[in-house]
């Protein structure tokens, strides 16, 4: 009996210690309450879950994103980038002047410069992306850098593999970085073949059995390709047959997604991100040089589009992507169009969308009719009523699965990237978005959006209110888990 009493006292002390740790370490109120309830009411498992998934890595920094070792040079570069940005804002006139708050927000970090003289192509689905990727790989002369969350050993994966091996044999340096969780299926197949061909291939944040649960968090969700430091690809499309709608895949026969091809100085930032991530996962120290960052004067582009890149993750001191989205929403004067496959917003995003809609801005949200994750789907629906009451229009895509992560603001801002509107993208994953300040790209993205709405059902407020209490109960129950999803 004494041992039972001692064990109970020891467990209570342990629970108190963990609760104090949660309160000290977790700064989001909803997440703090969720973890506290889990630890108190789910014995043992609750503590295991917290230490596996709940540790705040933004406070600890997984690795330093510092690529420049010379502090004096870095300060001088910061001055030059801000000067360059002011010149672009001045030359672009009203287009950038009206959005300079967003520009300045991203300029606070050295890795988010405003660039001009970019060519930008909007790529819809894998049918448009992959031919452009293969064409760019074939044209590579010096180096090819790839960074992907999911890279499958299927038809398109093997096609890109063959193209990379061919270029490696021609003397082009190829570096391939894959997320060890998202691309786990290629560890013992495609990756080994690449290495045998002389291609450097490394997993990002390798999963080890002893740290399995913790390392399943903080994944590299970015999709980046950089060719010779001049051409880059960024967006939501992974390397997988399911993004090519001429190939039948399960569980959805049609995947709707969006990507960008960029030719110009904006590729500098994508290169910067890749080198930082590469130095971390490959445990080496590639130094910045003209080889990776071509001189501004060397870019021969036929367009003059201003582009800024936003990236954040457990390596950044601030949630840059979240802040950039909030700032963009606040700048809207007439229309906000959002597409996201996973909608589990935090309070600030919910408030921003409701305030915009109630202030007369037309706000439309496009989400999947059926998600590939039932729990996430239920949690997402729990937010709809509040948005509908505020006047936000919500559409559910029925043609297949909409996986695009896009946002347009009025006629001037277009955002395409890897970040979902969910807590995982804001806090846990490494993400990257491209922000394009251009009326032409904005118009093209809008046209694609309204074309998608033809295959979507609009949720009517009164009908949504008439659903059975059971649906609301299940969705609100799932919402309690939303800080943990």
Evaluate whether 341 touches 452 at the Cβ level (below 8 Å). no
What would the two tokens of residue 260 be?
A: 């960008």
Predicted local distance difference test score (pLDDT) of residue 215: 59
CA 270/CA 434 separation, integer angstroms: 10
Question: Would you name the residues annotated as active-site residues?
Answer: 221, 223, 228, 403, 405, 410
pLDDT of residue 66: 66
* Distance in angstroms (rounded) separating the CA atoms of residues 325 and 415: 9
Token pair 């760019």 is at which residue? 136
Q: Looking at domain 320-484, does it have CATH number 3.30.870.10? A: yes
Q: Which two tokens stand for residue 421?
A: 């509107």
Q: What's the rounded Cα separation, in Å, for the pair 274 and 268? A: 10
Nearest to 434 by CA among 277, 257, 265, 307: 307
Instruction: Report d(CA 20, CA 8) in Å as an integer.
Output: 18
Radius of gyration of the chain from its Cα atoms, rounded to whole angstroms = 23
pLDDT of residue 57: 54
- Chosen CATH of 71-95+117-306 out of 3.40.50.300, 3.30.870.10, 3.40.50.2300, 3.40.50.11540: 3.30.870.10
Strand partners, 311: 432
Give the separation between CA 203 and CA 177, rounded to whole angstroms.
6
* Three-state SS letters, the chain: CHHHHHHHHHHHHHHHHHHHHHHHHCCCHHHHHHHHHHHHHCCCHHHHHHHHHCCCHHHHCCCCCCCCCCHHHHHHHHHHHHHHHHHHHHHHCHHHHCCHHHHHHHHCCCCCCEEEEEEEEEEEHHHHHHHHHHHHHHHCCCEEEEEECCECCCHHHHHHHHHHHHHHHCCCEEEEEEECCCCHHHCCCHHHHHHHCCCEEEEECCCCHHHHHHHCCCCECCCEEEECCCEEEEECCCECHHHCCCCCCCCCCCEECEEEEEECCCHHHHHHHHHHHHHHHCCCCCCCCCCCCCCHHHCCCCCCEEEEEEEECCCCCCCHHHHHHHHHHHHCCCEEEEECCCEECCHHHHHHHHHHHHCCCEEEEEEECCCCCHHHHHHHHCCHHHHHHCCCEEEEECCCEECCCEEEECCCEEEEECCCEEHHHHHHCEEEEEEEECHHHHHHHHHHHHHHHCCEEECCHHHHHCCCHHHHHHHHHHHHCHHHC
> Cα separation of 393 and 389, whole Å?
10
Count CB atoms within 10 A of the CB of residue 49: 16
Nearest to 239 by CA among 247, 251, 227, 231: 247
Q: How far apart are the first and last CA of the chain?
A: 40
The per-residue pLDDT for 1 is 56
Strand bridging mode 200-204 / 255-256: unpaired
pLDDT of residue 52: 65
Biggest CA pair distance of the chain: 82
10-residue mean pLDDT series, the chain (485 residues): 76 85 76 81 78 61 64 67 78 81 82 87 97 98 97 96 97 96 93 96 80 68 96 97 83 90 94 91 83 82 90 86 96 97 94 98 95 82 94 96 97 96 89 96 98 96 87 77 64
What whole-number distance in Å separates Cα of residue 15 and Cα of residue 37?
A: 11
Cβ count within 10 A of residue 33: 14
Q: With 0.85 as the threshold, say if the pTM is over it.
A: yes
pLDDT at 54: 67
The CA distance from 92 to 426, in Å, is 30
d(CA 48, CA 91): 55
User: Two tokens at 88?
Assistant: 């672009």
pLDDT at 111: 58
Across-strand partners of 431? 312
């Amino acid at each position: 009996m004494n041992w039972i009493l001692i064990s109970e006292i020891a467990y209570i002390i342990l629970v108190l210690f963990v609760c104090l740790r949660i309160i000290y370490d977790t700064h989001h109120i909803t997440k703090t309450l969720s973890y506290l309830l889990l630890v108190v009411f789910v014995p043992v498992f609750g503590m295991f879950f917290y230490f596996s998934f709940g540790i705040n890595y933004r406070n600890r920094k997984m690795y330093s994103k510092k690529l420049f070792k010379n502090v004096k040079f870095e300060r001088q570069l910061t001055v030059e980038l801000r000067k360059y940005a002011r010149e672009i804002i001045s030359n672009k006139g009203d287009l950038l002047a009206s959005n300079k708050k967003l520009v300045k927000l991203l300029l606070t970090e050295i890795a988010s410069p405003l660039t001009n003289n970019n060519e930008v192509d909007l790529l819809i689905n894998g049918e448009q992306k992959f031919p452009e990727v293969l064409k760019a790989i074939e044209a590579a002369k010096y180096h090819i850098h790839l960074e992907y969350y999911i890279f499958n050993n299927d038809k398109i994966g093997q096609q890109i593999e063959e193209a990379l091996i061919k270029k490696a044999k021609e003397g082009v340096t190829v570096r391939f970085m894959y997320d060890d969780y998202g691309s786990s299926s290629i560890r013992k197949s495609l990756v080994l073949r690449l290495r045998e061909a002389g291609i450097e291939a490394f997993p990002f944040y390798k999963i080890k059995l002893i740290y399995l649960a913790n390392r399943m968090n903080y994944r590299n969700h970015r999709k980046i390709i950089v060719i010779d430091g001049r051409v880059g690809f960024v967006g939501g499309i992974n390397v997988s047959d399911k993004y090519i709608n001429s190939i039948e895949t399960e569980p959805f026969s049609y995947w709707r997604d969006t990507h960008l091809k960029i030719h110009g100085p904006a590729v500098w930032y994508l290169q910067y991100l890749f080198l930082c991530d590469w130095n971390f996962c490959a445990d080496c120290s590639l130094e910045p040089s003209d080889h990776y960052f071509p001189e501004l004067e060397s870019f021969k582009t036929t367009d003059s589009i201003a582009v800024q890149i936003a990236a954040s993750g457990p390596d950044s001191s601030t949630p840059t992507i979240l802040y950039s989205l909030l700032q963009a929403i606040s700048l809207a004067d007439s229309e906000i169009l959002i597409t996201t496959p996973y909608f589990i917003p935090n309070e600030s995003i919910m408030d921003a969308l409701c305030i915009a809609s109630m202030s007369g801005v037309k706000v439309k949200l496009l989400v999947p009719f059926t998600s590939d994750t039932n729990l996430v789907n239920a949690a997402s629906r729990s937010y709809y009523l509040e948005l509908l009451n505020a006047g936000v229009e919500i559409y559910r895509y029925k043609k297949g699965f909409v996986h695009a992560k896009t946002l347009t603001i009025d006629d001037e801002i277009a955002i395409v990237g890897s970040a979902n509107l969910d807590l995982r993208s804001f806090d846990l994953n490494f993400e990257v978005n491209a922000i394009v300040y251009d009326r032409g790209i904005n118009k093209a993205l809008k046209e694609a959006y309204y074309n998608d709405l033809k295959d979507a059902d609009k949720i009517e407020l009164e009908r949504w209110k008439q659903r059975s209490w059971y649906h609301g109960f299940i969705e609100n129950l799932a919402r309690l888990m939303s800080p943990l999803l």
